[in-house]
Amino acid sequence: MESPQASPASPPATSQPRELSRLAALLRYEILDTPEEADFDDFTELAARLCGTPIALISLVDERRQWFKSRVGLEVSETPREISFCTHTILGQEIFEVADARQDPRFRQNPLVTGDPHIRFYAGTPLTSPDGHNLGTLCVIDRQPRQLTAEQRDTLERLARQVIRLFEQRLLARRHAEQAALQQAILDSASSAVLVTRPDGIVSSVNPTAERLLGYSEQALLGHPLTSALFQPQALQRRAAILSSELGVPVEADFAVLIAPLHQGRREMSEWRLRHHNGSEVPVLLGVTAIRDEQERLRGYLVNAYDLAYQEQLQLRLQQIAAQVPGMLFQFHWRPDGAGGFPYVSEGIEQTYGLSPAQLASSFAPIYARVHTTDRAQLLAGIRQAANSLTPWHSEHRVEHPRKGLIWVEAHAKPLRQPDGSILWHGFVTDITARKAEQLELDKQQEMNRRLLEALSEAVIACDADGCLTLFNDRAKQWHGADTAPISPADWARHYRLYQPDGVTPLQAEQIPLMRALHGEHVSDHEMVLLGQDAPRYVLTNADPLYTSDGQPMGAVAVMHDITERKRIERLQREFISTVSHELRTPLTSITGALTLICSEVMGEVPTQLRELLEIARQNSQRLSALIDDLLDMDKLHAGQMRFDLIRQPLRPLLEQALHSNQSYAEQHGVRLHVGECPPVQVDVDAMRLHQVLSNLLSNAAKFSPPGERVDLSAEFGDARVRVSVRDQGPGIAAEFHERVFQKFAQADSSDSRPQGGTGLGLAISKELVERMGGRIGFDSEPGQGACFWFELPCSERPVAASESQP
């Protein structure tokens, strides 16, 4: 802020607030530093002439200078404020007159007096704004001392008032121009279509939005009646008829339809379908406003048209989307007073609550009434809680559906607080009865499975696809003395103390049945030992990989069956058989030996009748010995104590040897043994064990052949194997016996009462022996067609051609 100048010529300091508001008033006219204007120059010219002075000025005083809006007889356009005469004038309300400045102590030293323009006389009248501020002066100046006449003074004051009036007019004109520009801008940028008409309905202005919406240019519509250009006559007539009856006055089917309600004091929005330039229809919401001037005279109408096409489209889209959604979509408005309504509900509400959207526009009650009574309190509490915390709401509740009966629905919604304190929810509700039923069924199933697992005498363990143990049933926990632990499969064997059947060799990770199953293998009857806290537990384990319904690996499950007791009993049985057999063998050796000696008549002649009986005794004691030998063989095979010395050797001599040693037995049955085809191959066998097998098959064949028949022993090569066949011409094997042929004591179970001799263990032992030598055994038989027992042994070597084998 500048301090007032302390010069002798300076005018007295003015009060600061008053001066500030005066400056503000001056600036409001926006006239400082504007170009010269003829209107103002007329006044200075008139003032100079009427007062007979060479100089006249319209001077405006701002904070630092006086600036001349119009001047006569002076070259400079402004002078500093502190030396100006006008500064004195604007302090008063009347003409300020200085007759001779040289004689006046206030101006004697003023540079305008002492120098150019050499002022001697000054008379100025304040230019006072309507709100009482002196903006400047209209003043006349002479270089001679003089005085104005009363008439001149009066004229000067009248001129000053006219100057101020001119200021006002100028200001008003500017304001009007701005207003008009603003209105146009608003109109042009309005998002709604705006059409302006004259009072008679002729279009006078159209904004760009309206041009776009209706397809007409402003030019095409100007001067045309609004209704005949854009409205459909039938629609106008329908509306006119309605209005006529509503208002009780006849309304013409023209522009009057739009303005009649307005003139009856009704402001309304009405829907219309306007005609687009291209012939299509444009749905709009129309509002009409009267335009009146200051004198309340009607100047025209402002017609606003809101495009409903977009709205209709949105509505349609929402409907279509909602129709595809299983369940109902809704918008729920909950007011602070507790009342509520649904501004929007999709048609799906029929499916969920058995209601129609219209029933819910203003009330929540119909839905509430459908909710199962026991679920209501919880439902409301949930809504309140979500409303208070403004968190998403979720509810599952039962609904008494009029058509479907009791159903389960699931609701989700999100609350939004509105400025008025109400809450707007957006959400959806779906029928989850089926899912719920599945869930209940699943729960039941799971409970059932759980009980089943605990009731099992087997131990069940499972792991997921990552090898994390997920399940031990009670039995598994008991056997392992531990529960599932979060350890890697590599540590299972150590942690749960898993051992090989020998009970001392720890199981390798890749040998654990669950691990093998996890790698996709189907494991059955894997034997291992659990060393828990108690004695070793022998278990047989089956394990299988688990897959999801779409075939993805999901883990594995293993079921362990405790065979400790079985193993113990088996061992006892074996020990018993072994002991008994050994104990039987010694006396049998004596009996057989003694009988053999007697029958040989080495001791002397035996009477014929006695001899027959002794022969029976001898044969049966030999049969008993054979049975014991077989039992011991079986025991050795099962205990894994029979050793095999596999030696590569030609097959044919083995067959011939077997034939030779069974020849006498065959002869007893009146049967001939015959060696047929045999390729010159070599096999890896234990000669003694193979001999045992061949003897068994040959003696069986001889035993079952009718006297006079032949038993054929032959071999053929094929597919890396050699098959040795023993074919007889006996009665064959009954179909119902086929399955049990290779079982122990199968013969004893046979209903065939014919005494055939034999121990019933021969074929079972032969099967074991052949399998231990890497082969397999079988037979082909049609009842009445004889039987063919065969065994196959691996034989990678191709038979040597007959010509090559010749020396």
Partner 1 sequence: MAELRRILHIEDDPSIQAVTKLALEAIGGYEVLSCSSGAQALEEVERFAPDFILLDVMMPGMDGPETLARLRERIDLQRIPVTFMTAKVQPGEIEHLRKLGARDVIVKPFDPMRLPEQIRSIWAAGR
Contacts with partner 1, residue ranges (CB under 8 A): 582, 585-594, 596-597, 600, 602-603, 625, 641-643
Separation CA 363–CA 262 (nearest Å) = 34
Separation CA 489–CA 469 (nearest Å) = 9
Residue 217 CB: number of other CB atoms within 10 A? 12
Q: Which is nearer to partner 1, 445 or 600 (CB)?
A: 600
For residue 633, what are the contacts with CB-CB under 8 A and spacing of at least 6? 642, 692, 761, 765
Separation CA 62–CA 22 (nearest Å) = 9
Half-sphere exposure of 596 (CA within 13 A, CB side): 8
Q: Walk across the sheet containing 498-499 and list its strands.
A: 469-472, 459-464, 553-562, 537-547, 523-530, 498-499
Q: Which is nearer to partner 1, 308 or 632 (CB)?
A: 632
Strands 710-718 and 721-727, by their bridges, are antiparallel
CA nearest 173: which of 31, 21, 24? Answer: 31
Q: Which is nearer to partner 1, 587 or 708 (CB)?
A: 587
Separation CA 392–CA 103 (nearest Å) = 92
Provide the minimum distance between the beta carbon of 625 and partner 1 in the complex, in angstroms, as a whole number: 5
Provide the minimum distance between the beta carbon of 688 and partner 1 in the complex, in angstroms, as a whole number: 11
Separation CA 187–CA 193 (nearest Å) = 9
Q: Is 563 helix (H, G, I), strand (E, B) or coil?
A: coil
Q: Which is nearer to partner 1, 95 or 690 (CB)?
A: 690
Provide the minimum distance between the beta carbon of 629 and partner 1 in the complex, in angstroms, as a whole number: 9
Q: Which is nearer to partner 1, 71 or 689 (CB)?
A: 689
199 and 300 in contact (C-beta within 8 Å)? Answer: yes
Provide the minimum distance between the beta carbon of 551 and partner 1 in the complex, in angstroms, as a whole number: 50
Provide the minimum distance between the beta carbon of 573 and partner 1 in the complex, in angstroms, as a whole number: 19
Provide the minimum distance between the beta carbon of 644 and partner 1 in the complex, in angstroms, as a whole number: 9
Provide the minimum distance between the beta carbon of 588 and partner 1 in the complex, in angstroms, as a whole number: 6
Provide the minimum distance between the beta carbon of 742 and partner 1 in the complex, in angstroms, as a whole number: 24
Q: Which is nearer to partner 1, 3 or 586 (CB)?
A: 586
Place of tokens 């499969």: 489
Q: Record the tokens describing residue 637, joined without a space.
A: 């095979």
Exposure b/e, 532-547, CB count within 10 A at least 16 = b: eeeebbbbbbbbbbbe
Q: Which is nearer to partner 1, 558 or 627 (CB)?
A: 627
Q: Which is nearer to partner 1, 604 or 755 (CB)?
A: 604
Q: Record the tokens describing residue 27, joined without a space.
A: 């600036």
Provide the minimum distance between the beta carbon of 620 and partner 1 in the complex, in angstroms, as a whole number: 14
Cα dihedral 104→109→111→114 (10° resolution): 80
Separation CA 76–CA 295 (nearest Å) = 46
176 and 231 in contact (C-beta within 8 Å)? Answer: no
Query: Terminal CA-to-CA distance of the chain, rounded, Å?
Result: 142
Provide the minimum distance between the beta carbon of 561 and partner 1 in the complex, in angstroms, as a whole number: 32
* Summary count for the chain: helices (H), strands (E): 25, 29
Q: For Cα atoms 168, 170, 172, give the angle at the middle one, nearest 5 degrees.
A: 70
Q: Which is nearer to partner 1, 391 or 579 (CB)?
A: 579
CA nearest 403: which of 346, 352, 369? Answer: 352
Q: Which is nearer to partner 1, 554 or 614 (CB)?
A: 614
Separation CA 261–CA 271 (nearest Å) = 14
Separation CA 139–CA 124 (nearest Å) = 4
Q: Which is nearer to partner 1, 365 or 603 (CB)?
A: 603
Provide the minimum distance between the beta carbon of 593 and partner 1 in the complex, in angstroms, as a whole number: 4
CA nearest 503: which of 532, 534, 531, 540? Answer: 531
Q: Which is nearer to partner 1, 97 or 630 (CB)?
A: 630
Provide the minimum distance between the beta carbon of 699 and partner 1 in the complex, in angstroms, as a whole number: 17
**CA separation (Å) from 110 to 11, 12, 97, 106?**
12, 15, 16, 8
**CA separation (Å) from 603 to 117, 594, 595, 609?**
190, 10, 11, 17
Provide the minimum distance between the beta carbon of 628 and partner 1 in the complex, in angstroms, as a whole number: 9
Provide the minimum distance between the beta carbon of 764 and partner 1 in the complex, in angstroms, as a whole number: 20
Provide the minimum distance between the beta carbon of 591 and partner 1 in the complex, in angstroms, as a whole number: 8
Q: Which is nearer to partner 1, 488 or 590 (CB)?
A: 590
Residue 514 CB: number of other CB atoms within 10 A? 24
Q: Is 243 helix (H, G, I), strand (E, B) or coil?
A: helix
Q: Which is nearer to partner 1, 20 or 603 (CB)?
A: 603
Q: Which is nearer to partner 1, 102 or 585 (CB)?
A: 585
Q: Is 15 helix (H, G, I), strand (E, B) or coil?
A: coil
Q: Record the tokens describing residue 761, joined without a space.
A: 């263990």
